[in-house]
Structure 1
Amino acid sequence: MTTAPTAPTAPVTTDTDWIAVARTVAARLAEDAAERDKANQPPFAEVRLLREAGLLTLLVPKERGGGGADWRTAYGVIREIAAGDGSIGQLIGYHYLLSWNVRFFGTAEKTAELERAAVEGQWVWGGAFNPRDPDVTLTPDGTGDGFLLSGRKSFATGARTADRIVAGAVRTDTGEPVVVLVDPVHAGVERPDDWDHFGQRLSASGSITFRDVPVAAADILGVLSEQEGALDPFATLVTPAIQAIFVHFYLGIAEGALAAARDYTRTVTRPWLLSGVESATQDPYVLATYGELAVSARAVRALADQAADAVQRGLERGHALTAGERGEIAVTVAVAKAASTRAALDITARVLEVTGARATASDLGFDRFWRNARTHTLHDPVAYKLREVGDHFLNGTHPPFTLYT
């Protein structure tokens, strides 16, 4: 991305305006998405585009200088951005969730402090949780009020471009799993550019290593225990909230693939010689395939909206949220997650059926949509989401809280 990003020309006052801003940013990202995917460079320019569009502080209340939007709007923004570039859809989605970790685990005072600082600094938030890696440790430094953070996480989305990193760690003195906030400019934070996977190539999702990084006691945001009853139901919404992010950027990738394929079919694809029509847009098989894919995308959009509504209602309940209500939210999100995974993989593969052989040219980059969807949908097995939905339908059970459910 070589041209300078452009900020919105008028103040954003409604949720609809924010979606329009996101759509404009997505169109800019789509212009050279294939080229940037090939270049596989850290997305600093893309982050600048998000920052100058005002999207980074979307969820911060207006009285603290932010956009004052709710999570329904944030999910819509994620979906729009992902339609232009799936990697950046992931990046901004994780950013929103990680910036909210202080609300899930911290105090009201700490939340106010960090949100004002985030607006002032226009922070991008990155994360280093990945519970399947060996734990990062937080050890008292002997001064009585400080700690040292050490260890490595193999996946840290957004860390390469982040201004602040939220990390999971285990206190060596108490054994508690905690959430800590880290300023990555410290020399002990190593963020190598080692994300080299075939999809989501610009999501800045490589490894991160902490080597005796100082952490103040005030920067321990809270406890993050997966033991039953250790957290109140509100804090455990952290998982349905991020799973719903996945739903929306999977859907965005699928919708982006459909839109790109439609433009190509309208302008380039030739009708098959046996079709008896003059334009590919009149071929009955092309029409039927587009119809099938469009139905799939619209069905998932309805489920994605249900998931967004469910998460928003849970967040609005705050600490009054019950375990049963949280469980119903998790099931609603699991339904959407399973449907969006299947639809995204199907749509991104099958658009090539309606664009033709010439659409496989590498400079067009149609393959990136499937590569992006395939890469991130492996985050956690969709079969387990189906099991959760089936167990709820048959037995009325709710998924237990983990960092995946």
Structure 2
Amino acid sequence: MTTDVLHPPPPGLGAEGRVVRDLADDLAVDAVERDRAGAPPFDETSRLRESGLLAALTVPPGAERATSWEDACAVVRTIAAADSSVAELLARHHVLSRTGHFLGSPERNFSSGGRTGHRTWLLAGDLGAGPVTEAARLRHGSLTITPVRGGYVLNGRRRLATGVPVADRLVLGAVCSATGDIRVVLVDPDAEGVETEPIPDHERTGQRAGGAGLVDFQDVPLGPEALLGVVEGDGYRRAPFTALAPLATALMLVQVALGTAEAALAEARDAILAGHRIHLPDPLDDDPVGEPTAEADLLHTWGELATSLYAASTVADRAGTAMGAALRRGQRLTAADRAEVAVLVATTEAVVAEAVPRITARVTELADPPGLDRHWRNARVLLGRGSTARRFRDIGSHFLYPSRGAPLAPG
């Protein structure tokens, strides 16, 4: 598989680098067929677990031995260039495994122990971070948690982007009926009162193999140990380190989108070099310097697309470096530090949201190998969840009125 057009993974992965590349090569072999089938990712989850990457991208208690943020981004982008659905599954799992750290309880362990050793849980979920519009509430559902003697009761419905049929545990943010705060809890999807169903086929235009679905909770009993943390009031905006959680999710999805664009360019390039281009150059139609016009147009277009990907990747790398530094600061992170990370994430989202859909759409006009259009469909799902206009306004506000100090919410 040839996927790294302009942005090969950094060398910091060490011995894991070969494992990542081997898994990416394995996933790429049948990626088109699995996208068409849109089946639950049972096999893909087994591949992640057997490769060791699921455990490697799970942040352990204390985080001293955790894979760095920068290396996790490199893993996700490499896997995304082979299969963006699997990459999103892994990306969201990685951020969710940091939940305890974001909420001040880094001792939480996301694995089960037994005589046969530890089994790392695959996490799916949604922290319920940031302001929720009524439209978003209707689309994604809302959860309510009620304190009772001996624990809590969870009710409601939530639409999740990945992992519904395969997750070992769900990490969910629910509004407390007594206080209005967000209580983040760990839920066993096999618990009494939990029902799941897949997203209907007509709604799954992209990211079809990631296991998106709906989860219903009807009087689900939770013990006190299920509570991972409490976000009081607008804590996602006031507590600097906690407020990194939605930014981390947004930045990981950017890595998935960039890997998708890399794959689109690589597959189109391979098809063009194999002679499967849509617009063949006419040798009689020469430009002034003696190069066929169609060939010159192809080179020009390719140069534009590659430059766009390189620029977006560079911006993402800067944001990723800032995020890694912020995560290492932990609870010492200041509001000003968080604001700087936020504006870099918003800038990255804005740049990627313009570059990746254009790249993945344009390549389908240059070549037609089987399944090339899936990258455009996947990009639309990954990047169509926010407003680029709002991001630009937030960025403008940050630079025009820095004294306001308003944290930026991800798109």
So what's the TM-score if we normalise by structure 2? 0.85
Q: 2:391 aligns with which of 385, 392, 399?
A: 385
Alignment-mate amino acid for residue 396 of structure 2: G
Shift of 1:14: 5.9
The answer to whether 1:179 aligns with 2:184 is yes
SS in 2 for 1:208: strand
Shift of 1:114: 3.4
Shift of 1:23: 2.5
Question: In the alignment, is the contact (CA less than 8 A) between 2:73 and 2:252 conserved in 1?
Answer: yes
Q: 1:114 aligns with which of 101, 110, 113?
A: 110
> 1:11-50 maps to which residues of 2 (within 5 A)?
15-50=13-48
Deviation string for 1:185-219 (max 9, x for gaps)? 11321111225311111121211111121211121
Shift of 1:225: 4.2
Distance 2:104 2:399 in 1: 35
Identity of aligned residues (%): 38
Distance 2:217 2:238 in 1: 27
Paired residue for 2:150? 145
Shift of 1:367: 0.8
Paired residue for 2:162? 157
Please, which runs of 5 or more residues in structure 2 have no aligned partner?
1-10
Q: 2:376 aligns with which of 350, 370, 395?
A: 370
Deviation string for 1:354-376 (max 9, x for gaps)? 21xxx17xxx1111000000112
Distance 1:115 1:14 in 2: 26
Shift of 1:273: 4.9
Distance 1:121 1:322 in 2: 36
Shift of 1:303: 0.9
Distance 1:380 1:48 in 2: 31
Paired residue for 1:69? 67
Shift of 1:272: 2.3
Alignment-mate amino acid for residue 173 of structure 1: A
Question: In the alignment, is the contact (CA less than 8 A) between 2:281 and 2:295 conserved in 1?
Answer: no
Deviation string for 1:214-271 (max 9, x for gaps)? 2111211111345268752111100211111121111010001011111111113257
Moved more, 315-324 or 229-238: 229-238
Question: In the alignment, is the contact (CA less than 8 A) between 1:246 and 1:337 conserved in 2?
Answer: no
> 1:178-257 maps to which residues of 2 (within 5 A)?
178-196=183-201, 197-225=204-232, 227=234, 231-257=238-264
How many residue pairs are counted as aligned between the two chains? 380
Shift of 1:59: 3.8
Question: In the alignment, is the contact (CA less than 8 A) between 2:31 and 2:82 conserved in 1?
Answer: yes
Distance 2:258 2:237 in 1: 33
Shift of 1:160: 2.1
Alignment-mate amino acid for residue 248 of structure 1: Q
Paired residue for 2:3? none
Q: RMSD value over aligned CA atoms?
A: 2.8
So what's the TM-score if we normalise by structure 1? 0.86
Flag the 1:398–1:24 CA change in 2: closer, same or farther, 3 A: farther
Flag the 1:351–1:67 CA change in 2: closer, same or farther, 3 A: farther
Shift of 1:115: 5.7
Alignment-mate amino acid for residue 98 of structure 1: L
Moved more, 115-124 or 18-27: 115-124
SS in 1 for 2:396: helix
The answer to whether 1:321 aligns with 2:319 is no
Question: In the alignment, is the contact (CA less than 8 A) between 2:394 and 2:408 conserved in 1?
Answer: no
Moved more, 26-35 or 55-64: 55-64
Deviation string for 1:138-182 (max 9, x for gaps)? 1234xx222111110133532221001001112223332110000
Distance 2:272 2:233 in 1: 49
The answer to whether 1:346 aligns with 2:375 is no
Question: In the alignment, is the contact (CA less than 8 A) between 2:182 and 2:232 conserved in 1?
Answer: yes
SS in 2 for 1:233: coil
Distance 1:30 1:399 in 2: 42
Question: In the alignment, is the contact (CA less than 8 A) between 2:59 and 2:94 conserved in 1?
Answer: no
Flag the 1:249–1:225 CA change in 2: closer, same or farther, 3 A: farther
Flag the 1:185–1:228 CA change in 2: closer, same or farther, 3 A: closer
Deviation string for 1:43-67 (max 9, x for gaps)? 1111111111111122446899997
Q: 1:293 aligns with which of 305, 309, 328?
A: 305
Alignment-mate amino acid for residue 319 of structure 1: Q
Distance 1:368 1:146 in 2: 45
Paired residue for 2:94? 96
Shift of 1:351: 0.8
Deviation string for 1:84-129 (max 9, x for gaps)? 11111111111111111111114233x2x33676992221100044
SS in 2 for 1:29: helix
